[in-house]
Amino acid sequence: MSIDLTSNHFELFEQPVGFAVDTSALTARYHELQSLLHPDRFATASAAERRWSVQAVSVVNDAYQTLGDPLRRAIYLLELNGISVDKETDTAMDPMFLMQQMELREALEAAESASDPYAAIDKLRAEIRAGADEQRDTFMTAADNEDWDAARTAVRQWQFLDRIAASASQLEARLDDEA
């Protein structure tokens, strides 16, 4: 079996390195790799080969999830280009963007006590989605131009928006549980 698990995710999935991916080809290759590497196919193999199979499936699953998720794919592209996006140490952000994030957080808190919290959450989600789409587009343009600083900034802002979207989903789930 000649599958190079040390290759980058794009090579593993036979995709050109870039933000745009062919999702149907990605899924087809995923199923092909799963079929080739599934531990059941290695049931009678040596212990080392069985361990390799489990490791290989894990690598394939991670690569598929990374390439299948636009934000994770953007982060991975930055990493391939030597750009770190460390949420813990990379805290410098545009003050205007931080102000917008505070406003979104406040709107999320206010949504909980709104007369129609679900409508308030939906409205907030639309705003978050628009901001995330804008950051995705900014990332794509910056990456196409190999402006990695701008691409990194776009990803960092996209991550903030993604976390607020997750908080909105958590609030909605909590409201559902309380209903």
Tally of structural domains, the chain = 2
Instruction: Note whether residue 102 is domain-resident.
Output: yes
Cα dihedral 4, 57, 20, 146 sign: negative
pTM over 0.85: yes
Q: Is residue 24 part of a domain?
A: yes
- Is residue 165 predicted with pLDDT exceeding 90? yes
Q: Given a cut of 70, is residue 90 above it in pLDDT? A: no
Each residue's pLDDT tens digit, 106-148: 999 999 999 999 999 999 999 999 999 999 999 999 999 999 9
pLDDT at 91: 66
Same domain, 38 and 99: no
Q: Which residues constitute the domain of residue 29?
A: 9-68
The answer as to whether 74 is a domain residue is no
Q: Is residue 80 part of a domain?
A: no
- Looking up residue 14, the CATH number of its domain turns out to be 1.10.287.110
Return the CATH number at 99.
1.20.1280.20
- Whether 173 is in a domain gets the answer yes
Inside any domain, residue 127: yes
Secondary element (H or E) of residue 52: helix 47-68
Give the residue-averaged pLDDT of 55-71. Answer: 96
174 and 121 together in one domain:
yes
User: What mean pLDDT is reported for the chain?
Assistant: 92
